[in-house]
Structure 1
Amino acid sequence: MNPNRRLCVIAAVALLVVTAGCVTVSPSIGSSEDSAVFERVSTVSEWGTSSVQASVTLAPAATTEMGVTRLNVITDSGSSFYTTTVDAGQTSVSLPIPTQTRSQIVAVNTVNGTVVDTYNVTVRGSRYP
């Protein structure tokens, strides 16, 4: 790698750490729950600060038969962290999951205002100041 480019990368990472707080390295998303809506939640991120990008695989019937139209990420304190809509037939969703707390992914049917399923997740990994 070019020395100037290496210096830029080091400076960018240092700035990110200073402004964002802790860095979680080699994150993984864990849950021990069975779910009718959520088949898999994982990440391929190598690191994250306040969140990591997660890949959520929904059951084929989640958006059709069960009527899921929205996913909400809620922190352990009850705060809304992220919300996204899902289309009928959609089985793959990308969304951020916080690294500093346990979270829930809540599948909602916005047509009739019901919670279809709740999935508890935790991001694990090595944390550095």
Structure 2
Amino acid sequence: MNSNRRLCAVAAVALLVVTAGCLTVSPSISSADDSAVFERVSTVSEWGTASVQGSVTLTPTATTEMGVTRLNVITSGGKSFYTTTVDAGQTSVSLPIPTETRSQIVAVNTVNGTVVETYNVTVDGTRYP
């Protein structure tokens, strides 16, 4: 029975890779940008296909003094990948970040319609086709 479960798990991962693209193992998220909005962007995901789950830590003043109310993840091709709202005082956000391209996390103040900051990120890891 144990070998059947293992076979099912391997088959599920193989199906996921075939339908979703490359598999990225041991991913990490990096950025060379200095930031007034973002303290840290990291991941605890052990693997990902089209994206990994990112953990974003905002500075204490991002949502209060700078007025950030939304984060947009944009691919290098300029396509919107994910959008989420943030509340005043919120400093921790979880969002998916694409694995097969450079991305930008755009902090937006939706009250006055301005971009507060654009933060470039890259997901690195071992990729398997």
Query: 1:21: how far off?
Result: 1.3
The residue type paired with residue 28 of structure 1 is S
- Gap regions ≥5 residues in structure 1: none
Give the aligned partner of residue 7 of structure 2.
7
Aligned residues: 129
C-alpha offsets along residues 72-127 of structure 1, whole Å, 9 cap, x if unaligned?
00011111000000000000000000011000000000000000011000000111
| Corresponding residue number in structure 1 for 2:116 | 116
The corresponding residue for 1:75 is 75
Whole-Å Cα distance in 1 between the matches of residues 53 and 81 of structure 2?
13
Paired-residue identity, %: 86
Provide Cα deviations, 1:48-88, integer angstroms capped at 9, x if missing partner: 00000000000001001100000000011111000000000
When the two chains are superposed, the root-mean-square deviation of aligned CA atoms in Å is: 0.9
Aligned equivalent of 2:47: 47
1:106 is matched with which residue?
Answer: 106
Q: Which amino acid aligns with 1:117?
A: E
Query: What is the aligned partner in structure 1 of residue 86 from structure 2?
Result: 86
Question: What is the TM-score with the length of structure 2 in the denominator?
Answer: 0.98
SS in 2 for 1:24: strand
If the length of structure 1 is used for normalisation, what is the TM-score?
A: 0.98
